[in-house]
Structures are given as structure tokens and as C-alpha cells.
Structure 1
Amino acid sequence: MITMIAAAAENDALGKDNDLVWHLPDDFKRFKDLTTGHHIIMGRKTFETFPKLLPNRTHIIITRKKDYTAEGCIVVHSMEEALNKVVNDDQPYIIGGGEIYKLGLPYADKIELTRVHGDFDADAFFPEVDPADWELVEEEHHPADDRHQCSFTYLTYLRKRK
């Protein structure tokens, strides 16, 4: 099962200038809990925002740069090539950014979306989750508090089979 995992605002904003526009510690913890032990597929720009490799995950980077290398990572040049690298992982995650989510959407079986309540100025956006294609199967709301500047809701979608 291929899962896209993201945090996106109500206007589908993901981030601006290669950074998130909110700080949600519980969402970071959920991301870590879900992706640990799995392959994570991301674009080069997303990878380059990491201070270091995320522990206990296999990093797959999609880039158009043919000579790009990243120590400890698998570098590929298409979503198809990335997905061919995850054959031994029954739960790979597509983790962004905006262009990679668009490329990954046709292949995804599941979306783990943290919907951040608010509209934000952004230059990267999550693709629209079309209710004709996706069924909301789980929803868990978290109010804003002293550690979270915004309220947010964890949404789990499964692709509808036609």
C-alpha cells in the first residue's frame, strides 16, 4: 500500500520557501511513528531541508538532476523508478513536496493528511483530494494549545475502488 503523508492547510498550502509555515510537534511525532522502518519518497528540495537523514528510514530522492548524489540515499529520476525501489516494503510513504505529491497521487492507495485549520501564504500546495476518488475513513481533531499554534485534524483517506 502506497501512502502519501502530508500536513496541508485548508487552502492546501504545504509550505513556503522550502519550509513549513507552522510548527505542530504532535504531527511530527505522528509522522515519525508512521514512517519509521519504511521507505520515504521525496523530492530533492524536500530532502535538502532536512538537517540530517531521518533515522530508521530508507530515503529515496526524486530529482531531474542527473548527476545528483546524496550519501545514504537512493537517487532516482521518476516516480516509477522510486516505486520500483520499494518492492520489499509493504508500506512506503510519499512525503513531498508539492510536485512529488502530484506525481504520486495516481499511485497512492492511502492519504494520511493533517489538515491544518487556517489559510496560509505558500508556494507549494497539496493536490486536491477528490471525494469521487477518496473515502474519508478516519478523522481525529486536535485543538490549538500551548504547543500547537493552530488546530488541526488527522484525516485518513483510502482510494475508492471502481
Structure 2
Amino acid sequence: MIILVAAAGKNNALGKNNDLIWHLPNDFKRFKALTSGHHIIMGRKTFESFPKPLPNRTHIVITRQKEYQPEGCIIADSIEKALEISPKSEDVFIIGGGEIYALGLPYANKIELTRVLDSFEADVFFPEIDLKEWKLVEEEFHPKDERHKYDFSYQTFIRK
């Protein structure tokens, strides 16, 4: 299954200046639980936003830079090549950024979205989810608390 996993504001904001806009520790834990042990597909800028490669995951980085070869990563020059490289019998996660989500959306079977229940100033956005194509099958609300500055909901969509 091809799964988009993201956290986005009410206005689909993802990030600004190659960084996240919010800090939600429970969302990081969920992301780790979902993606550990799997192939993760991302753009070069998303990969470069990490302090180091994420443990226990196979990184596939999409870039047009021919000489780009970070240690321990698989490089692809298109979403199609990245998906071709990925195992067909396992879940594969597309983890961003905005352009990669838009390119991956037509191939995805599922979206695991953390909806941060506020609007944010951003320079990267998650694509609009067309409810004619996608069905919300699960939603779990989490109110803000001392560790989470914003209310958020985990939402699971499957393609109709």
C-alpha cells in the first residue's frame, strides 16, 4: 500500500523555511510507529531538514541533482522511479514535502494525516484532499495540553 503521512494545518500548511511550524511530540511518536521498518519516500529538501537519516527506515530521496548521493540513501529522479524501487508487498510511506505529496497523491491508497486545528503562515502546503475520491474512515481528536500547543486530530483517509 502507498501511504501519504503528513501533519498539516487547517489551511494545509506543512512548513516554512524548510522546517515544521509546530512541535507535537505525540505526532512524532505516531510518525515513528507508522514508518519504522518501512521504505520512506521524500524530496531532497525534506531529507536535508533532518539532522540525520531516520533510524530503522529505508530512505528514498527524489532529486534531479545527478551527483546527489547521501550515504545510506537510495536516489530516484521521479516519484515513479521511487515507487518502482519500493517493495510491492509492503507499505511504503511518502513523507513530503509539498511537491512530493502532490506528485504521490495519484498513486496513494491511504492518507495518514495529523490535522493541526489552526491556520499557519507557510511556504509549503499539503494538496487538497478531494472528498469525492477519498473517504475519512477514522478520526481521533487530541486537545492541546502542556506538551502540545495546538488541538489536533489524527485522520485516516482511504481512496474510494
Amino acid in structure 2 at the alignment position of 1:49 = S
Q: Identity across aligned pairs (percent)? A: 66
Q: Distance in 2 between matches of 1:53 and 1:22?
A: 21
CA contact (8 A) 1:41 1:95 kept: yes
Counting only pairs closer than 5 Å after superposition, residues 7-156 of structure 1 correspond to structure 2 as 7-156=7-156
State the AA in 2 paired with 1:155: Q
For residues 81-105 of structure 1, the C-alpha deviation after alignment (integer angstroms, 9 at most, x for no partner) is 0001112551000000000000000
Residues 59-111 of structure 1: per-residue CA shift (max 9 Å, x gap): 00001111111100001100010001112551000000000000000000000
C-alpha contact (below 8 Å) 1:110/1:158 kept by paired residues: yes
Normalising by the residue count of structure 2, what TM-score does the alignment of the two structures yield?
0.99
Q: CA–CA distance in 1 between the matches of 2:124 and 2:117? A: 17
What letter matches 2:150 in structure 1?
C
TM-score (norm 1): 0.97
Name the aligned partner's letter for residue 31 of structure 1.
F
Extract unaligned runs of 5+ from structure 1. Answer: none
SS of 2:4's equivalent in the other structure is strand
Kindly report structure 1 stretches of 4+ aligned residues shifted beyond 6 Å: none
C-alpha RMSD of the superposition: 0.7
Quick one: distance in 2 between partners of 1:109 and 1:134? 9
* Secondary structure class of the residue paired with 1:154: strand
Q: Is the 8 A contact 1:9 1:115 kept in 2?
A: yes
